[in-house]
Structure 1
């Protein structure tokens, strides 16, 4: 169980790092005239992502979930791959990346890096991590609950983001 606690703590620390990057990018964006879009769903997103971490730990501990190598190793690999994709997104978007939706007037929509493959690659990372992290320790209830709730939340989030990005011309 100790390795799983460490894994979840590392993912949690990564989230704190994301928030620091997001806050810096928010200040940069607002200074250039950006206004936040879709702010109403953000608290639910924070709660859901926090619930993923807490739920995975609680279910693994209270449910006495075991590490099943045939499931756990592939899920661990997916968690690592999701982090790689997430940071590829962050580095590709640079100062335009945020956990909130900010669009800086006059900038071009980023279409390089993973964004040349699909419109919202960061959400692919979120979806993969959302089922893979708990399943690395057989926490299937958390994986199912997060996946279902995240699907609802992402439908709102992606619509808000697409609406905010409509005014940007495609670019690098």
Structure 2
């Protein structure tokens, strides 16, 4: 149980680091004329993701489940892979990455790194981690509840983000300029 608590605390610290990077990057985008959309779902996202970290700890202490080693280790591998993907996305987007939906008019969408293959690879990381992190300690209730709630949230988030990205020039337009 102690190892799981430490893991969740490490993820929480990682999220705080993300928020620092996000704030700095959002300011950079806004100072260059960036336009924010989809603000309505942002507070819900903050509550959901914070609640997720708390819920899996509560579940672990309330249920005190027996955790098969194969489940713990395989889900830990998924969590680590999700972290690698998340930070690959953050590094690829550079100053353009933040936790809000902000686009700078005139800047073509990024199509390098994981964005060569997927439109929204960061959300793949979020979905994978949302299912796997609680399951490191057999927290199937949290994994299921977060996955369902996150699916609803991501529907709104993707709608807002795709609409914002549609306002940007294509790579071909940017290369012609």
The answer as to whether partners of 2:37 and 2:101 remain within 8 angstroms in 1 is yes
Aligned residue number for residue 8 of structure 2: 8
Q: Where in structure 2 are the equivalents of 1:105-124 lying within 5 Å? A: 105-124=105-124
Instruction: Spell out, residue by residue over 1:133-164, the C-alpha distance to the aligned partner (whole angstroms, 9 max, x if none).
Output: 00000000000000000000000000100000
Alpha-carbon separation, structure 1, partners of 2:169 and 2:78:
33
How far the C-alpha of 1:170 sits from its partner, in A, is 3.3
1:139 matched to which residue of 2?
139
- Mapped to 2, the partners of 1:30 and 1:47 lie a distance apart of 24
TM-score by length of structure 2 reads: 0.95
Contact 1:78 1:128 in 2 (8 A): yes
Following superposition, the deviation at residue 67 of structure 1 comes to 2.4
What secondary structure does 1:110 align onto?
coil
Unaligned runs of 5+ in 2: none
Q: Rg bigger for which structure?
A: 2
C-alpha contact 1:110 1:170 (8 A) present in aligned 2 = no
Q: TM-score, normalised by structure 1?
A: 0.98
Match of 1:63 in 2: 63
1:98 aligns with 2:94: no
Task: Give the count of matched residue pairs.
Answer: 172
Once superposed, which parts of structure 1, at least 4 consecutive aligned residues long, lie more than 6 Å away? none
Distance 2:118 2:71 in 1: 28
